[in-house]
Amino acid sequence: MRIEFCGVLQEAVGDEALELSIATPNRVADILEELAERIPALQTHLPRIACAVGDEVIPRSEMVTGDVPLVLLPPVSGG
Amino acid sequence: MRIEFCGVLQEAVGDEALELSIATPNRVADILEELAERIPALQTHLPRIACAVGDEVIPRSEMVTGDVPLVLLPPVSGG
Amino acid sequence: MERITDQVLDAEILKRETENPACGALIVFEGTVRDHHRGRQVQRMEYTAYKPLAERVLQELEEETKRRFKVAECRITHRVGELAIGEASVVIVVRSAHRGDGFDAAEWAIDTLKQRVPIWKNDFYTDGTRAYQDGVPLSACSSGEHDSAQRGQESHAEQPMRKQD
Amino acid sequence: MERITDQVLDAEILKRETENPACGALIVFEGTVRDHHRGRQVQRMEYTAYKPLAERVLQELEEETKRRFKVAECRITHRVGELAIGEASVVIVVRSAHRGDGFDAAEWAIDTLKQRVPIWKNDFYTDGTRAYQDGVPLSACSSGEHDSAQRGQESHAEQPMRKQD
């Protein structure tokens, strides 16, 4: 499934998005764990990341289908 | 000496200014007392009036020479 | 720009006059003519000022606002003459490094302006009558006497007089 | 006007969009790019947003601001892309019958925007380096979770995480 990265996470990953080969549907928490194993630079960020699908923030306990990207949002600093 | 009126005082007096024949220099308090005798409609306003000469508010205890107008300022309502 | 003017007020001019690269926050307050006052329909408004004093008091108010709230910029203009509904009677522009100071400064400036500046408001109602709004008596000293910011209170008719003799 | 835009922000457009004859107070807040951040010289700034969510959160923030402070009008726009020193990154326009409510509403709106809207700030320093500013973790619920207005506090790195599992 497609994972997209925002803000400082693009620096950590070195890209704006990637394809993660993982069984879907799957729990957000498990997807994040899998990601962190493949990209160690993400690990320090994970505790403070929020996850979004479309225009909604979703809890880590939620299942996602993989039909649309899972978007990872680091702490926000707008204004 | 010339007395000028602002705001609601112009309505009370019916004019923007008048010439008061009074000895000068004289104390502001005495000038106001004399004015109120000649224009009874001013009496209810007097306790809440401030007095100015040029760009300064002056206390009622002050003496004025009459060279420049004495300006009577009712309670303010700008903004 | 003059602080007391019969021209339409323009916040953009004050914003340009106060540009400051060290500031991260800009607060603009505008007082606009409302279509009602204490339950009555207002058609338009007339403002008059005692200009020699009003100009000086506004300039001092800008300086005191900057000092008191440690904000970098403060500019205030007030319109006189006839104003239609929706037009701005007063514009206050504050720029500060941090926004909290700027909000506090702008709010204090408008609260204090209403207590210190010799300007008078004459409401023209839709029924053809008009009336000066009651206001705040000026004290003999134009600065530092009326520090309490009485939010939202428009008339101070009951306020005890400062002894003036 | 879109709430997230790469165009130069224009407070005058939002003022026209919110004209309301029942309002006597207009408050505009603009966040502008400062030339310094924590002692370092800033040359320019880059803002990025996750637009689908940011648009929705800004719209909800406008509605919540109006409801919470009983103000008649609230409009918010945030710029993305590269900004020079002095340019506005965010503009908030509030109109209310009484000014106290308007000031409270505008200040709460910007405080809350900084905690809820998926936007990121990348500082470009004069020494050629750049760095994302640390920010506030989003909670899983986008509304009502971060109500405390922590005035002037720019980073919440030490804030305890909301449990998300």
ipTM of the complex: 0.90
Average pLDDT, chain C: 87
Task: Give how many domains chain A has, as a whole number.
Answer: 1
The count of CB pairs under 8 A between chains B and C is 107
CB contact under 8 A, D140 and A73: no
Instruction: Scan for tokens 């600093």, then name that residue.
Output: A77
Minimal Cβ distance to B54: which of C52, C136, C140: C52
- Looking at residue D139, what is its pLDDT? 79
Residue of D nearest to A58 (CA): D140
Average pLDDT, chain B: 97
Helix ranges restricted to H, C40-162: 51-69, 99-116
Cβ–Cβ contacts within 10 Å for residue A39, how many? Answer: 19
- Looking at residue D78, what is its pLDDT? 98
Q: Which positions in chain A have a beta carbon within 8 angstroms of at least one beta carbon in chain D?
A: 6-8, 11, 29, 47-50, 52, 54-61, 71, 73-79
CB contact under 8 A, C90 and B78: yes
Inside any domain, residue A79:
no
CB contact under 8 A, B52 and C50: yes
Asked if the model's pLDDT at residue B30 lies above 80, the reply is: yes
CB contact under 8 A, B48 and C114: no
Q: Which residues pair with C32 in a beta bridge?
A: C88
Model confidence pLDDT, tens digit, residues C94-134: 999 999 999 999 999 999 999 999 999 999 999 999 999 99
- Looking at residue D1, what is its pLDDT? 64
Residues of D with Cβ-Cβ distance to A29 under 8 angstroms: 165
DSSP state of B42: G
Asked if the model's pLDDT at residue B25 lies above 90, the reply is: yes
- Looking at residue C1, what is its pLDDT? 64
Q: How far is D58 from chain A (nearest CA, A)?
A: 12
Query: CA–CA separation, D153 vs D138, rounded Å?
Result: 16
**If we measure between CA atoms, which residue out of C78, C86, C91 comes closest to residue C119?**
C78
Asked if the model's pLDDT at residue D152 lies above 60, the reply is: no
Model confidence pLDDT, tens digit, residues B34-66: 999 999 999 999 999 999 999 999 999 999 999
Average pLDDT, chain D: 87
Extended beta strands in chain D, E state: 4-5, 25-32, 36-37, 40-49, 73-79, 81-84, 88-96, 119-125, 130-132
The contacts of residue A25 (CB under 8 Å, 6+ apart) are A63, A64, A65, A66
Q: Which residues pair with B53 in a beta bridge?
A: B56
Residue of C nearest to D39 (CA): C22
Structure tokens at D89: 């990154």
Mean pLDDT of C33-37: 95
Inside any domain, residue A14:
yes
Asked if the model's pLDDT at residue C154 lies above 90, the reply is: no
Domain with A14 in it: what CATH number?
A: 3.10.20.30
Query: CA–CA separation, B59 vs B78, rounded Å?
Result: 22
Minimal Cβ distance to A57: which of D135, D138, D154: D138
What is the set of domains in chain D, with CATH numbers? 4-135 (3.90.1170.40)
Model confidence pLDDT, tens digit, residues C87-101: 999 999 999 999 999
CB contact under 8 A, B48 and C161: yes
Minimal Cβ distance to D27: which of C22, C29, C85: C29
Query: CA–CA separation, D27 vs C149, rounded Å?
Result: 18
**If we measure between CA atoms, which residue out of D42, D30, D47, D62 comes closest to residue D118?**
D47
Are chains A and B touching, using the cut-off of 8 Å on CB pairs and a minimum of 3 such pairs?
no
Band (pLDDT 50/70/90 cuts) for residue B17 is very high
Residue of A nearest to D80 (CA): A78
Inside any domain, residue B78:
no
Model confidence pLDDT, tens digit, residues A1-43: 999 999 999 999 999 999 999 999 999 999 999 999 999 999 9
CB contact under 8 A, C119 and B73: no
Q: Which domain holds residue A56?
A: 2-73
The contacts of residue D20 (CB under 8 Å, 6+ apart) are D72, D73, D95
DSSP 3-state assignment of C137? coil
CB contact under 8 A, C135 and B76: yes
The contacts of residue D89 (CB under 8 Å, 6+ apart) are A78, A79, D9, D31, D32, D33, D45, D47, D78, D79, D83, D121
Residue of A nearest to D156 (CA): A75
Q: How far is B59 from chain C (nearest CA, A)?
A: 5
Name which of D138, D145, D159, D161 to mutate to probe chain A: the one with the most chain A Cβ atoms within 10 A of its Cβ: D138
- Looking at residue C159, what is its pLDDT? 35
Inside any domain, residue A25:
yes
- Looking at residue C139, what is its pLDDT? 79
Q: In Å, what is the CA distance from D150 to each residue of C100, C148, D8, D104, D134?
A: 10, 25, 28, 13, 16
